[in-house]
Chains A and B, each alone.
Chain A
């Protein structure tokens, strides 16, 4: 029943289809992108942060001046604000912001700038580790280090080929 009679508006059909297909693909794309990120990045930011976006990047880190009293408004890098405000980040007049990281007694001051970021953290490590196995450096009691080869995907793959011909141990 294709290509005959009156056609419904083509842009409407294609547009709807495009929306559906995009919605359907987003979760899988998320997995695909995440497979190229290391675990710290995955737990720190969403997978869409590989797309170009503006992000605060730390340009300098310093210990706060011991003379500052965190219980009173403080002046750091030319701006005056309370401790709570510095924890949230205080904008600098020339751009960027000042951030207090940590608690009142044991913290550090970071000057951050907004920069464009895109896909800087993509890596093939996950694939390398899954396909070839990760190498672990183990420090022994006598101080020497040994390298241990972690298991890889090949065993699992072979098992799934082999299992039809082999009685499997019953799951506990």
Chain B
């Protein structure tokens, strides 16, 4: 009896595997019109997955009851976990290993790459710049977003104003770089300025400035401004929704008690929407830590504007230094993780609160 059941338990998965394998070979070698192959592949893929689940479930259900309880969840979650591990955990692990190895990942070099990442002069500038990005991009995006959301809430032109401020969100970062080149472009003194900022500056009696190049370290702020311009719309939309969610009775009660508009906003509205402010803020922090495109398009990381991501790209793909590149990537990962955990925890708290 036991023997028979064991035989069946081996036979059925074997058949399932054989069907999948033969199907794969057939689809690989078949000489059919493309569309038919595609349809067959979809059928084979979806049917195959369903069959795998069914067989695995059937197998587990043959076991004693408390084993079924223990194992059944993994039948359904298992494949997802396996794919997650394959796409996320293994690459991360490989990068971690490579960060302790030399340029071509052929020999372990201990902490040399990390020593470079934390002591090299260019890397120190990089960290300083990223700090500027995180602090100023976040402060201004969230602050301006909150201000615009609060103002728009009291205006008849709310929709138009919000739409126009949100518009840059639809623009890619490279596109934003092109747009802001029309603002930052610099020509030598005496020539006609075609950049808006320099035209205004020279019109006011100043010398033309290379905003993104020569005014170190201030050029970083001109790059940060681009991202503030892009991200304020995002902050504004979420904060605006949160402001509208503040119970009207709360605000009304504050007004009845004689609180001014500003006090009501500071003491009632802001505490009510604080979780949203934190969520938006941490999202922008993560985003600023990972910033790459704007810097790469505007200055290529020259003139002291490098950030962690551009340094990673430079070391890994231009200098072909797997070790240093990986070490920088790991540093970035380690910097982002705490913020991300905080962000997710905040999000979960908000959901349980509702």
**Residues in B neighbouring A47, C-beta threshold 8 A:** 182, 194, 196
Complex: how many Å from CA A6 to CA B254?
A: 12
Q: Which chain B residues lie closer than 8 Å to A13 at the CB level?
A: 151, 154-155
A1 cross-chain contacts in B, Cβ below 8 A: 153, 243-244, 246, 248, 251, 269
The residue of chain A having its C-beta at the shortest distance from the C-beta of B163 within the complex is: A21
Does chain B have a CB within 8 A of A66?
Answer: no
Of the candidates A8, A16, A28, which one forms a contact with B179 in the assembled complex, judged by CB atoms under 8 Å apart?
A28
Question: Is A92's CB within 8 Å of the partner chain B?
Answer: no
Q: Indicate if A163 sits at the interface (CB-CB under 8 A).
A: no
Interface string of B173-200 (1 = CB under 8 A from A): 0010011101100000000111110010
* B-chain residues with CB within 8 Å of residue A42 when the two chains form the complex: 194
B168 at the interface (CB under 8 A from A): yes
List residues of chain B with CB within 8 A of the CB of A27: 168, 179-180, 182-183, 196, 229
| Residues in B lying within 8 Å of A, measured CB to CB | 144, 148, 151-157, 160-161, 164-165, 167-168, 171, 175, 178-180, 182-183, 192-196, 199, 229, 232, 243-244, 246, 248, 251-252, 255, 261, 269
A46 at the interface (CB under 8 A from B): yes
- Residue from B153, B194, B195 in contact with A2 in the complex, judged by beta carbons closer than 8 Å: B153
In the bound complex, CA of A24 to CA of B246 (Å): 27
Residues of A within 8 A of B171 (CB): 28
**Chain B contacts of A17 at CB under 8 A?**
148, 151-152, 155, 157, 161
- Report A-chain residues with C-beta under 8 Å of the C-beta of B161: 17, 20-21
**Alpha-carbon separation in the docked complex, A44 to B192 (Å):** 7
Assembled-state Cα–Cα distance A46/B151 (Å): 32
Interface of A is mostly: helix
* A45 part of interface (Cβ distance < 8 Å): yes
A137 contacts which chain B residues (CB < 8 A)? none
**Is A170 an interface residue when CB atoms closer than 8 A count as contact?**
no
Min Cβ gap B167→A in Å is 6
Contacts of A44 in B (CB 8 A): 192, 194
B165, A24: Cβ atoms under 8 Å? yes
Which residues of the other chain, A, contact B151 by a CB distance below 8 angstroms?
Answer: 13, 16-17, 20
State the CA gap A24–B168 with chains docked (Å). Answer: 8
A14 touches B182 (CB 8 A): no
Report if A30-B192 is in contact (Cβ < 8 Å); known contacts: A1-B244, A7-B154, A14-B157: no
User: Are B261 and A6 within 8 A (Cβ)?
Assistant: yes
Q: Are B229 and A24 in contact (CB under 8 A)?
A: yes
15 A-B pairs within 8 Å (CB atoms) are namely A1-B243, A1-B246, A1-B251, A2-B153, A4-B251, A8-B154, A16-B151, A17-B151, A24-B168, A27-B168, A27-B229, A44-B194, A46-B192, A46-B194, A48-B199
Contacts of B144 in A (CB 8 A): 20
Beyond A26-B183, A26-B196, 14 additional pairs, beta carbon < 8 A? A10-B155, A14-B155, A17-B157, A20-B161, A21-B160, A21-B165, A24-B167, A24-B168, A25-B167, A27-B180, A27-B182, A31-B178, A31-B179, A46-B182
Query: Which one of A5, A6, A10, A34 contacts B182 once the chains associate, using CB atoms below 8 Å?
Result: A34
Which residue in A5, A26, A45 is a CB contact (below 8 Å) of B251?
Answer: A5
How many Å lie between the Cα of A2 and that of B246 in the bound state?
11
